[in-house]
Structure 1
Amino acid sequence: MDRLVADDLAAFAVFAAHRNFTHAAEELHVSQPSLHTRIRKLEQHLGRRLYTKHGRQLRLTKTGEQLAAFANDTRRRVDAFLSTLDVGPRRPLVLAAGSGAYLYLLGDAIRRYLDKGNQLRLVTADSRATVTAVRDGSADLGVTALGIPPDDLECERIAQYPQMLAVRPSHRLAGRRSVRLKDLEGEALVVPPKTRPHRRALERALLDQGVRWSVAVEAEGWDLLVQFVRLGVGPAIVNGSVRTTTAVRTVPVKDLPPVRYYLITCRDRPDDERLDMLRRMLL
């Protein structure tokens, strides 16, 4: 592959990480038309589409995902080789995780890693996007809650929390040691939007138990769910890692599975002592 195509490949890796021409062009310090031209040139070279447009969203095709993984793997191997020669500055590791993981799980490890003089680029992403970022190489590692870990990635469990019912102290279930889903019959619940994995899993579980319920309000993020509980809008099912105040009681839900957080990395990535250090801190 000649130098021109190699440069275009590196540019595509940045575009694949953002799925956004504006942000990718800013990172590359090029114009958007120039970036469009580079990616179109790659598509012509390969004879395949690399991305498709769905409304305002850009999605990689299967070929695009494979090319992004190849580009990022090549970049990592070049970085690893240059590090053995101590040539030039090393790019920071990229960690992808959800907002809940950053708030309640990763803070101490990230602070200790940065205190040692290391650089770290943080990316906020939901579970699916975190797995995709690790798989295509746009993130070096990810931390996310998974039901069934993907078998093509290295997945190490780092934490497990029960699912809890969050209620006000005056609620009829506040004094219980534990509850079951059937205890929520007739309740109006504070829940995430329909597109969120937690909402879908909760709806399936309530349906399986034949529980009739309604939506009090939809809210994005654990903190906002707990805030609505505190205001008296309704109860919510939350991750047991979530911090609450004395204005909110949490009760374990016995018939919901625990939330398991995993550290995920690529299986065949080159050795990197920085990744090993951060992994040990997280584990």
Structure 2
Amino acid sequence: MDERAVSADALASFAVFAEHLNFTRAATELHISQPSLHVKIRKLSTTLGRPLYHRTGRRLLLTPDGEAVARFARAHDERLTQFLADFAGAPAHRPVVLAAGQGAYLYLLGDTIRTMLAEEPTRLRLINCDHRQMLATVRTGQAHLGVSVLDVLPDDLTAVELATFPQVLLLPDDHRLATRRTVRIRDLAGERLVVPPQHRPHRVLLEQALRTARADWTVAVEAEGWPLITHFVALGVGLAVVNGCVPPPAGLVARPVTDLPEVTYHAVHQPDALSDPRVAGLLNRISPTDRHPT
């Protein structure tokens, strides 16, 4: 393959497409027509001799080769930006990009983000996403660092343990179980629970545990995100099992559920990412000093 056949324009266009995984939105951002973007990506795929994306139902997903091309395209763009800034004798304003979910931002990363933005507002860019999207953003180079609870550690990324919490039962302080220091899953028999929507990882694991303990229960309400779940518990709608990093508001207490596994937040990054001082600096700020990559 002649490397001259791979144009910088095609790489830049593919990086935008990889971020949106939607031809219409990507073409709009690039200020070109959707057919033109199709042609660019098809030619790039043909030149490289590999499919770069595939369709699953109505969704477009990058192939592993597509992730690698998107990661290279973004790295190429960053190097070019840095070179041009150095050439002009001006500083390159390249923010470090962090991808994480709602829980991590609310209960784990807030102080670090506040401090970094106070020091230099343009130093940090944030992406809010679920754990699957977080892994995709790191794999494609859209984010330098990702943070989430991971059931299975990715074998293609470096993972650093940040913090581990028990799973706790959130309940009113006058509830019958509030007098206990800990509870077990079977203690939830007969209770109405505030739970995430079906098929969410937390919901699936909780239902499995309740089924194993033969604890009958009912859905009080389905809610997305710890703040809304906590709010419903405070309203008296039902009880909820949440990660132990979620602080109980006034009138509620949290009791560890001893037969549920602890949850661990990990930071993940590309294996060579720490050669970039921006990424190394961010990781040092959010990770305990006694943790090591796994």
Mark yes or no: TM-score above 0.5. Answer: yes
Counterparts of 1:181 and 1:273, CA distance in 2: 45
AA matched with 2:168 = M
- 2:100 corresponds in structure 1 to 97
How many angstroms apart in 2 are the aligned matches of 1:62 and 1:151? 13
**C-alpha displacement of 1:96:** 0.5
Aligned residue number for residue 16 of structure 2: 14
Are residues 1:113 and 2:107 paired?
A: no
| Deviation of 1:245 (Å) | 1.4
Q: Which residue number corresponds to residue 202 of structure 2?
A: 198
In 1, the alpha carbon distance for the partners of 2:209 and 2:115 equals 39
1:201-220 mapped onto 2 (5 Å cutoff) = 201-220=205-224
Tell me the equivalent position of 2:234: 230
* Residue of structure 2 equivalent to 1:175: 179
Change (3 A) 1:264 1:250: same
Tell me which moved more, 151-160 or 224-233.
151-160
Percent identity of paired positions between Structure 1 and Structure 2: 51
In structure 2, do the counterparts of structure 1 residues 25 and 119 end up closer, same or farther at CA, with 3 Å as the change threshold?
farther
Q: Which moved more, 1:46-55 or 1:202-211?
A: 46-55
Is 1:244–2:248 an aligned residue pair?
A: yes
Listed one character per residue, the Cα deviations across residues 152-194 of structure 1 (whole Å, up to 9, x for unaligned) are: 2111111121111011223221221110001011222111012
- Bigger Cα displacement from structure 2, 200-209 vs 26-35: 26-35
Give the letter aligned to residue 108 of structure 1. Answer: D
Conservation of the 8 A alpha-carbon contact between 1:80 and 1:272? no
Tell me which amino acid in the other structure corresponds to 1:187. Answer: E
Aligned-pair CA distance for 1:68: 2.2
Measure how far apart 1:99 and its partner are. 0.9
Structure-2 separation of matches of 1:39 and 1:211: 53
2:68 to 62, 66, 69: 66
Q: In the aligned structure 2, how far is the partner of 1:88 from the partner of 1:278? A: 19
| TM-score (norm: length of structure 1) | 0.89
- Check conservation: 2:6, 2:47, Cα contact below 8 A: no
Quick one: which amino acid aligns to residue 239 of structure 1?
N
TM-score computed with the length of structure 2 as normaliser:
0.86
The RMSD of aligned alpha carbons is 2.4
Contact 1:94/1:121, CA 8 A, preserved across alignment? yes
Q: 1:122 aligns with which of 121, 126, 131?
A: 126
Select the residue among 184, 190, 193 that pairs with 1:186: 190
1:91 counterpart letter in structure 2: R
The 1-side partners of 2:6 and 2:138 are apart by: 26
Distance 2:37 2:94 in 1: 22
Query: Is this contact kept in 2: 1:73–1:269, CA < 8 A?
Result: no
- Higher mean alpha-carbon deviation, 204-213 vs 94-103, is at 204-213
Amino acid at match of 2:62: L
Q: Contact between 2:100 and 2:129, CA under 8 Å: does it hold in 1?
A: yes
**CA shift at 1:56, angstroms?**
4.1
Are the aligned partners of 1:77 and 1:270 in contact in 2 as well (CA < 8 Å)? no
Q: Quickly say closer, same or farther: Cα 1:271–1:82, change in 2 above 3 A.
A: farther
Between the aligned partners of 1:128 and 1:224, the Cα distance in structure 2 is 21
Q: Report the equivalent of 1:25.
A: 27
Q: Could you tell me which residue of structure 2 aligns to residue 282 of structure 1?
A: 286
- Equivalent AA in structure 1 for residue 273 of structure 2: R
Amino acid in the other structure paired with 1:106: L
Provide closer, same or farther for how the CA distance between residues 252 and 83 of structure 1 changes in structure 2, counting only shifts above 3 A.
farther
Equivalent pair of 2:81/2:92 in contact (CA under 8 Å): no
On the 8 A contact 1:76/1:270 being kept in 2, the answer is no
Paired with 1:164 and 1:275, the residues of 2 have a C-alpha distance of 33
Paired with 2:214 and 2:227, the residues of 1 have a C-alpha distance of 28
The amino acid across from 2:16 in the alignment is V
Q: Secondary structure at the match of 2:224?
A: coil
